[in-house]
Amino acid sequence: MMSEPTDYQAFSPDEVALVKLCRSLGGALTYRDLTSMAFTVGGVAQLHTYTTVKMFPFSSEGKCMGIIVCERTGSCSGGKAQETVKFSMKGGDAKMASVIRRSD
């Protein structure tokens, strides 16, 4: 029996698109609430858990939004976990071009 497709809900279509991309690449969103989310990745069941540290909401003045998360990565079978702090930002093309340094 085939399962029904999962219906994702988010604040923006970008968020839904990222989760669907992850799924198409073999990952799965396993948990989500207002302050954290978890994904499993690949056949080895690598677990990635993200906890929100700070959000920078969209503003018309800044024309972008951002988030700082703490990523905890480890094997679902109890392997050693690693923690990394990451910053992600999204915005209009002109804003992002002014922020991102060209790297060749």
- Asked, for residue 3, whether it belongs to a domain, the answer is yes
CB neighbours (10 Å) of residue 95?
14
- How many CA atoms does the CB half-sphere of 66 hold within 13 Å? 12
- Asked, for residue 88, whether it belongs to a domain, the answer is no
Q: Alpha-carbon distance 51 to 20, whole Å? A: 20
Query: What single DSSP character describes residue 11?
Result: S
- Asked, for residue 27, whether it belongs to a domain, the answer is yes
- Asked, for residue 10, whether it belongs to a domain, the answer is yes
Domain limits for position 25: 1-76
Domain count, the chain: 1
pLDDT of residue 19: 86
pLDDT of residue 11: 79
In tens, the pLDDT along 35-79 reads 998 988 876 668 889 999 999 999 888 889 999 999 998 765 666
Q: Alpha-carbon distance 74 to 40, whole Å? A: 10
- How many CA atoms does the CB half-sphere of 23 hold within 13 Å? 13
- Asked, for residue 91, whether it belongs to a domain, the answer is no
- Asked, for residue 87, whether it belongs to a domain, the answer is no
